[in-house]
Homo-oligomer: A and B are copies of this chain.
Amino acid sequence: MDFSFTEEQTLLRNMVQSFVQDNYDFDSRMKIVRSEEGMSREIWGQFAELGLLAAPFSEEMGGLDGGPIDIMVIMEELGRGLVVEPYLPTVVLCGGILSRHASAAQQEANLPGILGGEHIWALAYSEPQSRFNAGDVLTSAKADGEGFVLNGTKAVVAAAPWADKFIVSARISGEQRDRNGIGLFIVDKSASGVSTQDYPTVDGNRASEVTFENVAVSGDALIGDATTGLSILEEALDHGIGAICAESLGHMKSLNDATVEYCKTRKQFGVPIGSFQVLQHRMVDMFMEYEQSVSMTYMVNMKLSEGEEERRKAASGAKVQIGKSGRFVGQEAVQLHGGMGMTEELSVGHYFKRLTVIDTQFGNVDHHLKRFASA
């Protein structure tokens, strides 16, 4: 049992931290969010140069041989800066699936574009009716000769407006909510029959409704096979949970720091409002929520490589913690900032909104409490 970071991980943290401080202060961030595209290709290129996009991949794949703990370190620091560039969908979700389950040919064809920063990927798995059940799939993949034809709509696909490629879950066989019969397909956004309706999301990101209309893909677009698709997908989502738990630590830490600082300087009734015991204890509760979240984030990221049952339980437990803590910290940070916390001008509200989305992302507290109990 060991709770310390390696020297490399500490260096990695320092590097990302400096990069975010120097290049991604709140004003820069808001400029990027409000820009036409909503992300910065320049920042993305710098991620590639810094090796962040290569961090979790093995050396054979051209990567830096990192693991979940390295991703955790990176995501935590990206969270502090409320970074919108699509590290999670490209590297953690799609990159993770490719590195763990794609064939050598698929990896050769696709990983270099991720590591080099040329391609952005999005994971198109949720559907209008599926809520938080990744196995509730209506999008169909009909065998057609050596290949497949895809039809269906994917809902709220994060980063899709920026993406060049998708990994798409589609049903090859079985009923709407059968665990078996789901395949994961690599689909070019430029493929004929793919269309997107793009929009911003409440947390400053971008997403799309993605429609597939008779989209023909070749047989080697399928990752794994039709019996393992859902397992691969669920594993990827659990890795995603590990990553956004870490991201949320960055948000909570920023909010807690900002709130303590604000309460020390904001005066009412002739004294700093931080001298009121009720607000002090509120901040203590925020601090404790953060500390408990740190613990659960370490826990889940250490357990992502364990067996499926343990991984599921760890991921759901951590997601419940982060959902509750993030909600509490976000709401109370706004409350303690008073009217100022309600304005677009301060970063507080933006952290709050990202934490609100994180509670829903990959399933909310209710969903994961049930999954935890059944694991």
A374 within 8 A of B: no
Q: How far is the CB of A279 from chain B (nearest CB, A)?
A: 9
CA distance A276 to B278 in the complex (A): 9
- Digit string of A140-183 for contact with B (CB within 8 Å is 1, else 0)? 00000000000000000000000000000000000000000000
**Is the CB of A6 closer than 8 A to any CB of chain B?**
no
> In the assembly, what is the distance between CA of A277 and CA of B278, in Å?
6
Nearest to A279 among chain B residues (CB) is B277
State how many copies of this chain the complex holds: 2
Contact pattern, A 83-115, Cβ under 8 Å of B = 1, otherwise 0: 000000000000000000000000000000000
- A278 CB contacts on chain B under 8 angstroms: 277-278, 281
Name the B residues within 8 Å of A281 (CB-CB): 278
Interface string of A208-221 (1 = CB under 8 A from B): 00000000000000
Bound-state CA distance A226–B278 (Å) is: 58
Query: What residue of chain B has the Cβ atom nearest to residue A282's Cβ?
Result: B278
Bound Cα distance from A122 to B367, whole angstroms? 45
Bound-complex Cα distance A276 to B277 (A) = 7
Q: What is the CA–CA distance of A278 and B276 in the complex, to the nearest angstrom?
A: 9
Contacts of A276 in B (CB 8 A): 277
Please measure, in the bound complex, the distance between the C-alpha atom of A276 and the C-alpha atom of B276, giving whole angstroms. Answer: 9
A336 to chain B, nearest CB (A): 14
Within A256-279, the residues touching B (CB, 8 Å) are 276-278
User: Could you say which residues of chain B place their CB within 8 Å of the CB of A277?
Assistant: 276-278
Please report the C-alpha to C-alpha distance between residue A281 and residue B281 in the assembled complex, in whole angstroms.
12
Would you give the shortest CB distance from A308 to chain B, in whole angstroms? 32
What is the CB-to-nearest-CB distance from A330 to chain B, in angstroms, rounded to a whole number? 21
For A276, give the chain B residue with the smallest CB separation: B277
Within A268-304, the residues touching B (CB, 8 Å) are 276-278, 281
A280 CB → nearest B CB, Å? 8
Q: What is the bound-complex CA distance between A276 and B281, given in angstroms?
A: 12
CB distance from A292 to the nearest CB of B (A): 21
A291 CB, min distance to chain B CBs, angstroms = 20
Question: Closest chain B residue to A281 by CB distance?
Answer: B278
Residue with the highest number of chain B CB atoms closer than 10 Å, among A276, A277, A281: A277
Cα distance A46–B281 when bound, in Å? 51
Q: Which residue of B lies closest to A280 (CB)?
A: B278
Residue of A276, A278, A281 with highest tally of chain B CB at under 10 A: A278
Give the shortest distance, in Å, between A273 (CB) and chain B (any CB): 11
Within 8 A of B (CB), among A336-360: none
Instruction: Give the Cβ gap from A77 to chain B, nearest Cβ, in Å.
Output: 35
The answer for the CA separation of A187 and B211 in the assembled complex, in Å, is 73
State the CA gap A278–B277 with chains docked (Å): 6
List 5 contacting pairs A-B, 8 Å CB cutoff, sorted by A: A276-B277, A277-B277, A277-B278, A278-B278, A278-B281
Question: Closest 5 CB pairs between A and B?
Answer: A277-B277, A277-B278, A278-B281, A278-B278, A276-B277
